[in-house]
DNA sequence: AAACTATAATTTGTCAGACAACTAATAAAC
DNA sequence: GTTTATTAGTTGTCTGACAAATTATAGTTT
C-alpha cells in the first residue's frame, strides 16, 4: 500500500498539479514535502519527472509553476487512463458491445509480448467501444490467467480492464505504448463497421506492475477523429 | 552553460546509458556520482527522468540496469529529436530529397497553428526523408519568416529544421505533438511513392521557445513500419 | 559432495540538515 | 521619485546517515 513513498507521491503530486490553475505557483519544496509526507529529496525526484513532461516549470529563487497544460493531463499520452474517462472528458458517452472473454493459451507472439512461457494460460478480453452510437475503437487485452481469470470480470463490466484492475487494488506503475498506424484487417473492420483497409490509429501497450512484470498486453485500434492524443515532448539536448 | 550540474549530468548520463549494453548493470550510485562529479542526490534526480522514460530499471539491493532493445528506428516520444539524430544514434543513414523552401503568407490555418496574424510572412520547408534508399517520411515545417528566412538554410541542409535551429543557438524548450493516423493524400503520396489512401502515421506539432512563442509548426507523415514510436505512460489515479 | 542456513557486504530508497545561487519584495538613501 | 542596499524566500546542490532489499560468502548439516 503506502510502503512506496515515491509511487504514492507521484500520484498525489499529479493530482495536485492537475487541480492547480495554470500559471499558479506551487507551495515551496519544504512546505510541499511536509504536506505530502516525504522528504524534500524524494519530492524533488518526483518533481523532475513532471518537469521533464512539461507539466511544471521551476525557477531558482522564484518557485515552481504549473505550466499552461491542463489539457496535457486531460488527454495527453503521458498518463495512462481508461478510454472511458478520456471519452467522458471530451464529452462523449461511451458504451460497450461485442464483448468477449476467452481463455486461451499463449502462442509465440503472446508469450513474447507478455514475457511468459509458451502455452501459459491466458485471458483475452475483446470489445468495441461506441461513442454517440457509433463504433470508435476496438480493444483487445491479453493477460496471464493468474492476473485475470476469465470469470473475474463483473457482469457490469464497462469496458476498461485497466479500471477493473485498479479498482481491485492491483498495483500498476506504467505502460510502454507503441504508436503506429495500420490498415484495418477484416477482423477489426467488421466490428467497427468500417471497410477493410481503412485507416486506424494503433496502440500496442504493455502494462507493468511494480516488480516489472507485464500484467497486460493491449491492442487498441482507434478510428481517427474521435479521439485526439497529444504529448508534450522535451527538446533533446543534442547528445 | 556548464554551471548547471543537472543539465550536464543529464547529457553525460544519457551518453553513458546509450553506450552501455542492454541488461548490463551501471555503477552503483555513490561511485557513479563521484565519476560524474555530482552528488548522489543530484544523480538520483537525473536517474528518475531516465527511469520514467524506460531506459533504465532500478532494483533496490541489486542495482540499476540498462533496459534494452533499441531495434529499428525506435524512438521514445518523450524527447523531441530530429529523425536525423535518431537515425544517427542507431547508426542508420538517412538522406533528403524533394527539398523545397518557399516564402508564403499565413492563411487561416497557418495563422491559427502559429498564433500569428493573417498574412504574416512565413517560410515553409518541405522534404522527403529516405532511409536505406527508400522514402520513409514526408515532413513539412512552417515558421514565421522572422524565425527562419527562406535563404537562411545552408546549402548542405540535411533535412532537420529542428537541428538547424538548435545549431544556430535558438533556445527551444518543448513541443506539443498531436498523434493521429490518416490516409495519404495525393500531395503526400506522390513524393513518398505510395498509393493515395495508403495508411500513414501523422504528427502535428508546435514547437515552443522559452517565452512560450510558437516558432515552428510541423507536419510529419510516416510510412508505418520503418519507425517505432513509443511512450512510457504513467498510470493515472483515476481522478 | 551437495544442500541448506546464517551472516556479511553491496545497493537502492529515504531522510535530515546545511549552504550556495538566485529572485523578488522591502527599506533606505539620495 | 528614483536608485540602491537589504532581507526574506525559493530552488540547486551537497554531505552524511540509516533503512530495506538483494546478493555473495562462509559455515553447517546432511
Chain A CA closest to residue B174: A234
Cα–Cα distance between A226 and A133 in angstroms, integer?
A: 12
Chain B CA closest to residue A46: B48
Q: Which residue has the higher pLDDT, A131 or B219?
A: B219
Identify from B234, B237, B239 which residue to disrupt to test chain A contact, counting A C-beta atoms within 10 A and taking the largest count: B234
CA-to-C1' distance for B61 and D15, Å?
Answer: 22
Cα–Cα distance between B95 and B83 in angstroms, integer?
A: 10
CA-to-C1' distance for A114 and C3, Å?
Answer: 34
The alpha carbon of residue B11 is apart from the nearest alpha carbon of chain A, in Å, by 6
pLDDT band at A57 (very low <50, low <70, confident <90, very high): confident
CB B30 within 8 A of CB B40: yes
Could you read off the pLDDT of A79-111 as tens digits, one per residue? 677 777 666 655 567 788 889 899 999 999 899
Q: Which residues contact A214 (CB under 8 A, 6 or more apart)?
A: A113, A114, A115, A116, A206, A207, A208
Domains present along chain B, CATH in parentheses: 4-66 (1.10.10.10), 73-230 (3.40.1410.10)
- Percentage of chain A beyond pLDDT 90 is 16
Could you read off the pLDDT of A187-199 as tens digits, one per residue? 888 898 887 778 8
Residue B106's pLDDT is 93
Strand C positions closer than 7 A to protein CB: 9-18, 21-24
| Helix (H) or strand (E) segment spanning residue A165 | helix A161-167
Q: Residue A238 pLDDT > 50, yes or no?
A: no
Residue A213's pLDDT is 80
What is the reported pTM? 0.70
Q: Which residue has the higher pLDDT, A75 or B192?
A: B192
Cα–Cα distance between A202 and A218 in angstroms, integer?
A: 10
Cα–Cα distance between B232 and A65 in angstroms, integer?
A: 24
| Residue that the C-alpha cell 540496469 belongs to | B65
CB B204 within 8 A of CB A148: no
Q: Which residue has the higher pLDDT, B103 or A130?
A: B103
Identify from B76, B224, B229, B236 which residue to disrupt to test chain A contact, counting A C-beta atoms within 10 A and taking the largest count: B236
Could you read off the pLDDT of A144-200 as tens digits, one per residue? 998 898 888 888 888 789 888 888 878 777 788 888 888 888 888 889 888 777 888
Strand D positions closer than 7 A to protein CB: 9-17, 20-23
Each of the 239 residues of chain B gets a pLDDT tens digit; together they read: 335 677 778 878 888 887 888 778 888 888 888 888 888 989 998 888 888 776 788 888 888 888 765 444 556 676 677 777 776 666 667 888 889 899 999 998 899 899 899 989 999 999 998 887 788 899 999 999 988 988 888 888 887 888 888 888 787 777 888 888 888 888 888 888 887 788 889 999 888 876 678 889 999 999 887 777 877 676 665 43
Determine whether the distance from the CB of A64 to the nearest atom of strand D is below 7 Å.
yes
Contact assignment for B205 to A233 by CB distance below 8 Å: yes
Contact assignment for B174 to A81 by CB distance below 8 Å: no
Per-residue CA distances from B54 to A174, A178, B84 (Å) = 9, 13, 22
Residue B238's pLDDT is 41
CB pairs under 8 A between A and B: 186
The alpha carbon of residue A178 is apart from the nearest alpha carbon of chain B, in Å, by 4
Cα–Cα distance between A126 and A157 in angstroms, integer?
A: 12
Residue B216's pLDDT is 93
Residue B125's pLDDT is 93
Amino acid at each position: 500500500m503506502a510502503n512506496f513513498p515515491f509511487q504514492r507521491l507521484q500520484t498525489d503530486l499529479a493530482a495536485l498539479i492537475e487541480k492547480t490553475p495554470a500559471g499558479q505557483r506551487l507551495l515551496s519544496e519544504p512546505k510541499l514535502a511536509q504536506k505530502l509526507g516525504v522528504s524534500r529529496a524524494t519530492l524533488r525526484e518526483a518533481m523532475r519527472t513532471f518537469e521533464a513532461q512539461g507539466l511544471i516549470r521551476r525557477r531558482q529563487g522564484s518557485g515552481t509553476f504549473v505550466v499552461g497544460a491542463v489539457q496535457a493531463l486531460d488527454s495527453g499520452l503521458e498518463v495512462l487512463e481508461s478510454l472511458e474517462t478520456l471519452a467522458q472528458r471530451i464529452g462523449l458517452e461511451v458504451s460497450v458491445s461485442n464483448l468477449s472473454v476467452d481463455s486461451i493459451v499463449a502462442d509465440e507472439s503472446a508469450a513474447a509480448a507478455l514475457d511468459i512461457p509458451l502455452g501459459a494460460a491466458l485471458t483475452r478480453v475483446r470489445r468495441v467501444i461506441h461513442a454517440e452510437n457509433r463504433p470508435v475503437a476496438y480493444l483487445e487485452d491479453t493477460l496471464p490467467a493468474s492476473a485475470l481469470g476469465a470469470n473475474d470480470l463483473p457482469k457490469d463490466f464497462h469496458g476498461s480492464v485497466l479500471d477493473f484492475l485498479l479498482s481491485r487494488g492491483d498495483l500498476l506503475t506504467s505502460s510502454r505504448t507503441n504508436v503506429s498506424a495500420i490498415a484495418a484487417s477484416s477482423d477489426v473492420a467488421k466490428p467497427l463497421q468500417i471497410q477493410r483497409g481503412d485507416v486506424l490509429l494503433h496502440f500496442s501497450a504493455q502494462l507493468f506492475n511494480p516488480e516489472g512484470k507485464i500484467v497486460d498486453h493491449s491492442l487498441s485500434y482507434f478510428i481517427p477523429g474521435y479521439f485526439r492524443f497529444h504529448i508534450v515532448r522535451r527538446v533533446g539536448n543534442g547528445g
